[in-house]
Amino acid sequence: MVHIRVDDETKELATEALTSMGLSMSDAVRLFLRRVVVDQAFPLELKVPNAETRTAIAESRKIMASRRSRFASADTLFDDLEKNTGK
């Protein structure tokens, strides 16, 4: 038996995602642990974020905290995406 502490929102969102994949929370944890046993390694890639990623994370947290959208419309979002991808 394994007990874990997870905030309610994370648990709810994970349960929804897993259910859509046909998995229960217990199934997912078993799969995770099985990969640890088989691979003798952590099954997810862990990296220290670089400066650009840290800046993006900080920006996203600021946006989420203010509960506002960075773009006024979908068109401005797509314009920004096209500008930043060189298209």
Position 48 scores a pLDDT of 83
pTM score, whole prediction: 0.52
**Where are the extended beta strands (E) located within 1-87?**
none
Position 87 scores a pLDDT of 56
Distance CA 47, CA 25 (A): 25
Position 40 scores a pLDDT of 95
pLDDT tens across 20-75, in order?
A: 999 999 999 999 999 999 999 999 888 888 999 999 989 888 888 887 777 888 89
Angle subtended by helix axes 25-39 and 8-20, to nearest 10: 80
Where exactly are the structural domains of the chain? 51-85
Question: Which two structure tokens, joined as six digits, stand for 61?
Answer: 């947290």
